Amino acid sequence: MSLVNYLVLSAILFSLGATTVLLRRNAIIVFMGVELMLNASNLALVTFSRMHGNLTGQVLAFFVMVVAAAEVVVGLAVIIAIFRTRKSASVDDVNLLKS
Amino acid sequence: MSALAAGPVLATLHAGQASTGEAILFWVLAPIMVLAALGLLLARKAVHAALAVILVMICLAFMYVAQDAVFLGVVQVVVYTGAIMMLFLFVLMLVGVDQSDSLVETIRGQRWIGLLAGIGLAVVLAGVVGRATFPPATGLDSANDPSNPEGLARLVFGSYVFAFEAVGALLVTAALGALVLTHRRRLTPRVGQRELADARVKAGAVLTPLPAPGVYARHNAMDVPALGPDGRPLEHSVPRVLRVRGQQADEREYAARIERVLAGEWAGGEGSTALATTTEAVETPGSDENPPPHARPDVGAPVPGAATDKPAQEEQG
Write out the residue range of the structural domain in which residue A75 sits: 4-89
Residue A80, domain member (yes or no): yes
Cβ distance of B88 and A76 shorter than 8 Å: yes
Quick check: B236 and B266 in contact, CB under 8 A? Answer: no
Residue B67: which of B18, B133, B34 has the closest Cα?
B18
More confident residue, A22 or B294: A22
Distance CA B300, CA B262 (A): 11
- Chain B positions touching A28 (Cβ under 8 A) are 46, 50, 88, 91-92, 95
Minimal Cα distance from A11: which residue of B? B125
Segment 15-54 of chain A within 8 Å of chain B by CB: 15-20, 22-26, 28-29, 31-33, 35-36, 39, 42-43, 46-47, 49-54
Distance CA A17, CA B40 (A): 8
Whether A76 is in a domain gets the answer yes
pLDDT at B275: 44
Number of domains in chain A: 1
- Identify all chain A residues contacting B118, using CB atoms and an 8 Å cutoff: 15-16, 18-19, 22-23
Which pLDDT band, with edges at 50, 70 and 90, does B293 fall under? very low
Per-residue pLDDT, averaged over B13-26, amounts to 78
pLDDT at A69: 92
Q: What is the pLDDT of residue B236?
A: 79
Half-sphere exposure of residue B189, counting CA atoms within 13 Å on the CB side? Answer: 6
d(C-alpha B225, C-alpha B300), whole Å:
13
What is residue B56's predicted lDDT score, i.e. its pLDDT?
Answer: 95
In a domain, A21, yes or no: yes
Q: What are the pLDDT digits (tens) for B111-166?
A: 899 899 999 999 999 889 888 888 888 878 787 778 889 989 999 999 999 999 99
CB spacing of A19 vs B152 below 8 angstroms: no
Q: How far is CA A63 from CA A59, B7, B146, B161, in A?
A: 6, 37, 22, 11
ipTM, two decimals, is 0.92
| pLDDT at position B16 over 50 | yes
Q: Do A13 and B139 touch (CB under 8 A)?
A: no
Cβ–Cβ < 8 Å for B254, B214: no
* Preferred mutation among B35, B71, B121, B161 to probe A, highest tally of A CBs within 10 A: B121
CATH code where residue A53 lies = 1.10.287.3510
Contact A7, A45 (CB under 8 A): no
Highest mean pLDDT among B98-102, B243-247, B273-277: B243-247
**Which residue in A1, A5, A37, A58 has the most chain B C-beta atoms within 10 A of its own C-beta, making it the best mutation to test that interface?**
A58
A14 inside domain = yes
* Cβ-contact B58, A46 below 8 angstroms: no
Q: Is residue A94 assigned to a domain?
A: no
Q: What integer is the mean pLDDT of B230-239? A: 78
What is the C-alpha to C-alpha distance for residues B135 and A6, in angstroms, rounded to an integer? 15
- Torsion on CA atoms B256, B257, B260, B264, rounded to nearest 10: -160
Residue in B closest to A8 by C-alpha: B126
What pLDDT was estimated at residue B100?
Answer: 59
Burial per residue of B27-63, b for 16 or more beta-carbon CB atoms within 10 angstroms, e otherwise: eebbeebbebbebbbebebbbebbbbbbbbbbbbbbb
Q: Rounded to whole angstroms, how far apart are CA atoms B242 and B2? A: 98
Residues 6+ apart with CB under 8 A from B90: none
Confidence of residue B268 (pLDDT cuts 50, 70, 90): very low
Helix then strand then coil, in percent of chain A rounded to 5, is 80, 0, 15
Domains and CATH numbers, chain B: 13-99+140-163 (1.20.120.1200), 226-316 (no CATH)
Q: Which of A23, A64, A54 is nearest to B114 (CA)?
A: A23
Cβ neighbours of residue B84 closer than 8 Å, sequence gap 6 or more? A35, A68, A69, A72
The pLDDT, as a whole number, for residue B166 is: 95
Query: What was the pLDDT predicted at B139?
Result: 79
Q: Is residue A13 part of a domain?
A: yes
CB distance A63–B30 less than 8 Å? no
Distance from C-alpha of A23 to C-alpha of A8, rounded to nearest angstrom: 22
Whether residue A64 is contained in a domain is answered as yes
Give the gap in angstroms from C-alpha A77 to the nearest C-alpha of chain B.
5
pLDDT per residue as tens digits for the range A35-71:
999 999 999 999 999 998 889 999 999 999 999 999 9
pLDDT number for residue B277: 44
Q: Establish if A74 belongs to a structural domain.
A: yes
The mean-pLDDT minimum among B136-140, B204-208, B261-265, B278-282 falls in B278-282
pLDDT at B288: 45
